[in-house]
Structure 1
Amino acid sequence: MADNRKASRFIVPVAVAGVAAATIGLVPALAASGDPDLPAITAQQLIEKIAASDTQTLSGTFKISTDLGLPLGGLADLGGLAGGGGGSSSADPTEKLTELVSGTHTLRVAADGPDRQKLTLVDGSDEYSLIHNGDDVWAYDSKSKEVFHEKAAEGEGVTGEKGEKPAKELPGTPKELADEVLKAAGDTTSITVDGTAKVAGRDAYQLVIKPKQSGSTVESVKIAVDAANGTPLKFTLSSVEGGKPVVDAGFTKVDFGKPAASDFDFKVPAGAKVTEGAAEKGAGAEKLPEDLGKDFEKEFGGIGGGLGGFAGLGEGDLNVIGEGWTAIAKLDSGAPAPKTDEAPKEIQGLLDSFGDKVTGKFGSGTVFKTKLVNALLTDDGKVYVGAVTQDALVDAANAGK
């Protein structure tokens, strides 16, 4: 027990690098060869086309490849320390889908409106299926023969994300939404249309989003948009470090017809162990104050949700430095950072593999790096996190003194 308590002090520096995983959604994408000849279109018109898309049904296969520049295998082994494991079902989506943050995976997807979706992760002869059908969410891991079940919250799909926002918060027309997107981009973002692509046999436009600010780790975000119906078909997130994209995922086959109703049926296999989600939630891991997660969500989208659940971070005040692509979240834990040479040896090796010691006017600390999100943990207990370079984090820490 004492070893576990000691190890928990090191959850933050290990887990903070995993914030990048929370920024990855299951956005279908994967460009195929061939550049179709399509009518010219402006960025605003293409955004309007996306906003006007009313695609409700589809089925297909897509691949997702992720390269965060992290030793994610080691992070996965620490799941029990971070609040995972602990007897939870191997079919629990919150644990199983973390596999998507590393390597290349093949998935089959199907959707029939907001009440029925299915996602199947294929791994050799093993499959993991996540099914939302009406009031129920089922997950089945064929390898462990375990089933996870819970009641779907209103407006949630297979990923557990809430659906539509209240109408009063949304622009009234696709043009108004496009105007808002371009206005929000402001002086920090470039949004252009850069050619065309062939994706899963369909003609698509390429929407390219780039930071105008220096200091961001994001080189570009490219989205291929179906020329006929405005559905996103390609998503590629590239880092300024170059090399493989951080995320390159998408359809290799797609059909916008209505899937059969039977595709969403699920029957518990004989002998399978069933875990009910409500029981799991009753014994959930320690979480940060609710406002902290909300503030992160506001500034960094999915990043906030990922950091909000880290165990062991402790109470603290959150401030956001800067704006746009170079915004940095600063958290003062109020306690000195743990000394890494006191960490258990399995954690010590992991910290050393992606942590760089830095010094400045702020004092000294360690930068934990990924290709997308970096974090500076100072020796006096302050944490600076953002999709920014190491130099930007150090500058922010120096300015904070």
Structure 2
Amino acid sequence: MAAQRKTSRYVVPIAVAGIAAATIGLVPALAASGDPDLPEITAQQLIEKIAASDTQTLSGTFKISTDLGLPAFDGLLGGLAGGGSGEGSADPSAQLTKLVSGTHTLKIAADGPERQKLTLLDGKEQYSLVHNGDEVWAYDSASNQVFHEKGAEEAGRAPEKELPASPKALADEVLKAAGDTTSITVGGTANVAGRDAYRLVIAPKQQGSTVEAVTIAVDAATGTPLKFTLDSTSGGKPVVDAGFTKVDFARPAASEFDFTVPKGAEVTEGDQLEKDHAGKAPEDLEKALGDFGLGGAGQNGPEVVGEGWTAIATFDTGEAAPKTEDAPKEARGFLDALGDEVSGKFGSGTVFKTKIVNALMTDDGKVYVGAVTPQALVDAANAAQ
């Protein structure tokens, strides 16, 4: 069990990368003739088409652009965690945090659930992550470092779960779950990486959400989603815009998933990395958050108020909130750039803002978090009085 927990944190990014390759795509290639003319389809039929897709193999190139409206925080997470695995490491848990900001180009290949490869291209340097059977290999060309993990197949295997028996049943469940809070429509067509696609648009009906819409471009031939875009009500660039600029559904060559340790590279085994970090990063991070009054959430909540897109998680830290100057030094500038002072019936506090998720921390230690506007958080805090 311990081995499963240990390896899963490295296999999950690979699994996510494989799923992403099969389910999302980037800014569509612009077709000279405009959007494709496809037969009309309902939202339920399009959901059924997605559910029926059995895409297992593909390869291609995609880009991912993320704009959370955050100040630069390179190195922040590593600093809070004690600097255990940052730049110059092939550890996937450190390298893949780069994808949470900026624009990145990746190459990806997938051959079912047991073989995936992701290569992050960053200028002249690159970072490769390979899952092949029960092994994970990762290589950072900038530092000539290699990470290796055995036993990955078992750790990365998702638990079984019951699903509706047919695509139509799954579509019915999705539409039922959306309920009165969500609009699901077909928003025309698009050409994504040279393929004809339908656009499935999912949007809140409720006021107060920071989500404008989620748009998924679905391959008209295979039912494979090809583009994922998350837009915020604040406008500007999408919060997430990720997907293929080129895609091929043929099975990649088996050799694509082979890995040979480069000459002179230093190899770190997952077992050793786990030992080196044991008792360090998690405790250091927990202490850093605790010092800033964020360590008590698990003891006193959270509770959820509201529903659907405007649901807000709330908990009580159990102690007065400290000021930003009391935060770990790695986080002070970051928090200053995010925070706005607010007040109401609840008293006063600080709203920490992004383009999607906002959090209100009151001066008496209560916290309200959700994909809602700052005013919605203030209203929830006032209503709790």
Normalised by the length of structure 1, the TM-score is 0.82
Task: Tell whether the 8 Å contact from 2:182 to 2:202 is kept in structure 1 after alignment.
Answer: yes
Quote the offset at 1:342 in angstroms: 3.7
In 2: Cα distance, 1:363 partner to 1:104 partner: 40
18, 24, 28: which one pairs with 2:25?
28
Amino acid across the alignment from 1:394: V
| Alignment correspondent of 1:131 | 130
Amino acid across the alignment from 2:371: A
| Alignment correspondent of 2:202 | 209
* Residue 324 (structure 1) aligned with residue 317 (structure 2): no
Quote the offset at 1:350 in angstroms: 2.3
Three-state SS of the structure 1 residue aligned to 2:318 is coil
Quote the offset at 1:100 in angstroms: 1.0
RMSD (CA atoms): 2.4
* Residue 364 (structure 1) aligned with residue 358 (structure 2): no
What percent identity do the matched residue pairs reach? Answer: 70
Quote the offset at 1:154 in angstroms: 4.1
| Alignment correspondent of 1:337 | 321
| Alignment correspondent of 1:294 | none
* Residue 170 (structure 1) aligned with residue 163 (structure 2): yes
| Alignment correspondent of 2:372 | 388
Q: 1:254 to 1:310 in 2, by over 3 A?
A: farther
Amino acid across the alignment from 2:96: L
| Alignment correspondent of 1:237 | 230
In 1: Cα distance, 2:170 partner to 2:50 partner: 10
Quote the offset at 1:155 in angstroms: 6.0
Deviation readout 1:290-349 (Å, 9 max, x if unpaired): xxxxxxxxxxxxxxxxx9999533233211111111111112111211112344666433
Task: Tell whether the 8 Å contact from 1:116 to 1:132 is kept in structure 2 after alignment.
Answer: yes
326, 339, 345: which one pairs with 1:355?
339
Quote the offset at 1:137 in angstroms: 0.9
In 2: Cα distance, 1:237 partner to 1:346 partner: 29
Task: Tell whether the 8 Å contact from 1:235 to 1:249 is kept in structure 2 after alignment.
Answer: yes
In 2: Cα distance, 1:183 partner to 1:226 partner: 24
Normalised by the length of structure 2, the TM-score is 0.86
Q: 1:132 to 1:48 in 2, by over 3 A?
A: same
Q: 1:269 to 1:176 in 2, by over 3 A?
A: same
Deviation readout 1:102-140 (Å, 9 max, x if unpaired): 111110000001100001000111010111000001111
In 1: Cα distance, 2:65 partner to 2:85 partner: 29
Runs of 5+ consecutive residues of structure 2 not aligned to the other structure: 1-15
* Residue 286 (structure 1) aligned with residue 282 (structure 2): yes
Matches within 5 A, 1:29-48: 29-33=26-30, 34-48=34-48
Three-state SS of the structure 2 residue aligned to 1:270 is coil
In 2: Cα distance, 1:114 partner to 1:146 partner: 26
Task: Tell whether the 8 Å contact from 1:83 to 1:311 is kept in structure 2 after alignment.
Answer: no
Task: Tell whether the 8 Å contact from 2:65 to 2:104 is kept in structure 1 after alignment.
Answer: yes
In 1: Cα distance, 2:287 partner to 2:196 partner: 40
Q: 1:84 to 1:234 in 2, by over 3 A?
A: farther
Amino acid across the alignment from 1:286: P
251, 255, 261: which one pairs with 2:254?
261
Quote the offset at 1:80 in angstroms: 3.4
| Alignment correspondent of 2:146 | 147
In 2: Cα distance, 1:309 partner to 1:56 partner: 43
Task: Tell whether the 8 Å contact from 1:29 to 1:232 is kept in structure 2 after alignment.
Answer: no
In 1: Cα distance, 2:274 partner to 2:378 partner: 38
Task: Tell whether the 8 Å contact from 1:375 to 1:385 is kept in structure 2 after alignment.
Answer: yes
Q: 1:29 to 1:189 in 2, by over 3 A?
A: same
